[in-house]
């Protein structure tokens, strides 16, 4: 058996639209998440962890590449949309290097189960970006045939894929998480004798929410709570399998979400943060992050240092015995010391930049956050909810953060100031893109329309 530090197994669990206040160990009073709470008790819980965007495609591009989405030109889709839609010509450039590609070079078996959302054309699929195999829906679960009038003719049937083939159209979403877990368990069993990287990208709690009946029956927070508790169950099933196979101590488990909750009337929460998905207030981009690695990452710790999803690539590469690519600019930092010594190590980030698509809207350095567009300054250490604008009291801080924002604009660009950005790399493009599915009135869809 391998030493736990010799190319440890890695499981990355990423939720969709799960907010900062949606699980118990981050303060939820309504969603029951005993498995995730136990993961936090057995590992490190990060309080100041950021995704690089408040919506799906750019957020996932950043996590996979270790780069701001502006760096890889997936900050805004070529038709002006915030995220990629079925059958578009754009996607993650095949020249980019993902976490999976780096780990595969180190002898890891690699698999993605769930949502990809970085392009559905052949050159952009997960199997072209370092994943040995793929099972899931390649974009958001609302991008299928819908009963809503404005959606009915907008999307083709929702595709469930295995590797590069569509294996079902319009799947029953209430059963999909169980199928995802089965796929994860099968992969763990098949890969038990070699290092593996499993990326489980949930469809929950993105709308429309279809949860299994047993979770609906037990929920104190309607369908939303049922979906959160199904995510918790899935984590428990994966953890059970790790322990059953004696892989627990050899495996790093990371849990997070791609952006904040949309909230509304659906039951989600970003408390105590201000803002929602699609905004650059803290609630849009500050997310839960739990890292568990028995015997290596100390148990029951909390880390308030600033970290980002972009740090996963260099950190995991280092722990696997390699390093981030040195032939291109990478924005993530190796935060190994924050994982191993969360009470003593300091964040390697000078600043974090909050973009909404191609618009630089805010910058954080230390405890200070400047909303450059709104001309507002907040002390996040004293005012996590961004309630009290203190810009008039701290002109020196405003000057410092404004200089950081100006440097960022020159580097990555900014639509507000019409700055192009000197260090952007192109997104992938294909000619004559086609959707993965087309509607067939004679097809025996198990779900004709999602309501």
Catalytic residue list = 56, 117
Would you list the DSSP string of 278-309?
TSSSHHHHEEEEEEE-TTTSPTTEEE-S-EEG
Whole-number Å distance between alpha carbons of 68 and 423: 11
Which 3 state secondary structure label does DSSP give 404? helix
Q: Which among 7, 266, 230 is positioned nearest to 142, based on CA atoms?
A: 266
Whole-number Å distance between alpha carbons of 413 and 358: 7
Q: Which among 233, 240, 239, 241 is positioned nearest to 189, based on CA atoms?
A: 241
- Is residue 222 within 8 A of residue 209, CB to CB? The reply is no
Q: Which among 333, 316, 303 is positioned nearest to 252, based on CA atoms?
A: 316
Would you list the DSSP string of 216-262?
HHH-SSHHHHHHHHHHHHHHHHHHHHHHHTT-GGGEEEEEEESS---
Whole-number Å distance between alpha carbons of 32 and 110: 31
Give CA 440 to chain center in angstroms.
33
Whole-number Å distance between alpha carbons of 374 and 376: 5
Cis amide linkage into residue 208, ω under 30° from 0: yes
Q: What are phi and psi of 193, to 5 degrees?
A: -95, 5
Q: Which among 343, 360, 182, 354 is positioned nearest to 285, based on CA atoms?
A: 354
Residue 285 makes CB contacts below 8 A (sequence gap 6+) with 50, 51, 52, 53, 54, 259, 260, 354
Q: Which residues pair with 287 in a beta bridge?
A: 49
Whole-number Å distance between alpha carbons of 96 and 109: 19
Q: Which residues pair with 255 in a beta bridge?
A: 13, 290
Count CB atoms within 10 A of the CB of residue 243: 11
């Amino acid at each position: 058996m391998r030493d736990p530090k010799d190319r440890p197994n890695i499981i990355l669990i990423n939720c969709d639209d799960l907010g900062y206040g949606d699980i118990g160990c981050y303060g939820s009073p309504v969603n029951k998440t005993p498995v995730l709470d136990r993961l936090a008790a057995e590992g490190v819980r990060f309080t100041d962890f950021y995704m690089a965007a408040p919506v799906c495609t750019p957020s996932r591009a950043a996590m996979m590449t270790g780069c701001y989405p502006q760096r890889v030109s997936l900050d805004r889709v070529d038709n002006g949309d915030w995220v990629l839609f079925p059958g578009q010509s754009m996607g993650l450039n095949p020249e980019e290097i993902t976490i999976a590609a780096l780990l595969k070079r180190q002898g890891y078996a690699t698999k993605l189960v769930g949502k990809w959302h970085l392009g559905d054309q052949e050159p952009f699929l997960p199997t072209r970006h370092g994943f040995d195999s793929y099972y899931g829906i390649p974009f958001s679960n609302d991008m299928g045939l819908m009963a809503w009038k404005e959606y009915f003719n907008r999307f083709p049937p929702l595709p469930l894929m295995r590797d590069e083939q569509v294996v079902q159209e319009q799947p029953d979403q209430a059963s999909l998480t169980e199928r995802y877990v089965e796929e994860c368990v099968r992969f763990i069993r098949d890969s038990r004798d070699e290092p593996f990287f499993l990326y489980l990208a949930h469809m929950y709690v993105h709308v429309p929410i279809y949860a299994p009946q047993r979770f609906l029956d037990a929920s104190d927070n309607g369908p939303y709570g049922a979906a959160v508790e199904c995510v918790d169950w899935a984590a428990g099933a994966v953890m059970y399998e790790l322990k059953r196979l004696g892989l627990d101590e050899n495996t790093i488990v990371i849990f997070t979400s791609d952006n904040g909750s949309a909230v509304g009337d659906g039951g989600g929460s970003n408390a105590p943060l201000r803002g929602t998905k699609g905004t650059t207030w803290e609630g849009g981009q500050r997310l839960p992050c739990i890292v568990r690695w028995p015997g290596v990452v100390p148990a029951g710790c909390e880390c308030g240092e600033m970290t980002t999803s972009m740090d996963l690539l260099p950190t995991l590469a280092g722990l696997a015995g390699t390093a981030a690519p040195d032939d291109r600019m990478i924005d993530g930092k190796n935060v190994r010391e924050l994982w191993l010594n969360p009470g003593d190590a300091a964040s390697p980030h000078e600043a974090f930049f909050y973009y909404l698509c191609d618009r630089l809207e805010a910058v954080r350095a230390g405890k200070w956050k400047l909303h450059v567009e709104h001309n507002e300054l907040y002390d996040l250490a004293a005012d996590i909810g961004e309630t009290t604008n203190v810009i008039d009291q701290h002109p020196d801080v405003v000057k410092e953060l404004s200089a950081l924002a100006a440097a960022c604009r020159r580097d990555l660009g900014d639509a507000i100031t019409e700055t192009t950005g000197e260090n952007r790399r192109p997104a992938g493009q294909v000619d004559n893109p086609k959707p993965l599915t087309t509607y067939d009135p004679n097809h025996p869809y198990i779900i004709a329309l999602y309501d």
